[in-house]
Structure 1
Amino acid sequence: MTELDVRDVPPMERHPKIHDAFEDLAAGESLTIVNDHEPKPLFYEFQAEVETFDADGYEVEQVDDAEFRATFPKRET
């Protein structure tokens, strides 16, 4: 599992950085992002645009008011 903390990344740069990290994963691996808000828009973006995203395996956990951990699994081929 790869973890990426984007809380200090400027908002306009977050999604491209996350997409790049996801693309670098091997099939069957997952990317966990640490964010300052629930990444619902990112989930919908991945669901619509990323064929290798396993939406059924997506998980999100709110750690506190400013920390959300979301796991984006990559489909096995």
Structure 2
Amino acid sequence: VTGMTREKLYFDLIERGFTLIALYYRLVPEIDEERFPVSHMLSQSILNLPVHQDTTTEDLDDLIHAIQDILAHSAQTA
């Protein structure tokens, strides 16, 4: 997620009725942030989307449009 915080997008999608689970939201404690800055950056920006074998094309379209709308509104208020 760029242009806004992952948490904001996460909660905005939940408000719109999407079921999200925050997986892999932090690094394994033994991984040093200074030695692995890219790993740290990714751990702060990745969002797992609700896509699985039962997801329909319509579900994906709804999700894509919701993300586009949220990001567009975020850009307008920035």
- Looking at secondary structure, tell me which structure has more strand per residue: 1
Identify whether the pair has TM-score above 0.5, normalized to the shorter chain.
no
Q: TM-score, normalised by structure 2?
A: 0.34
Q: TM-score, normalised by structure 1?
A: 0.34
Q: Radius of gyration: which is bigger? A: 2
Larger RCO, structure (CA 8 Å, separation 6 or more): 2
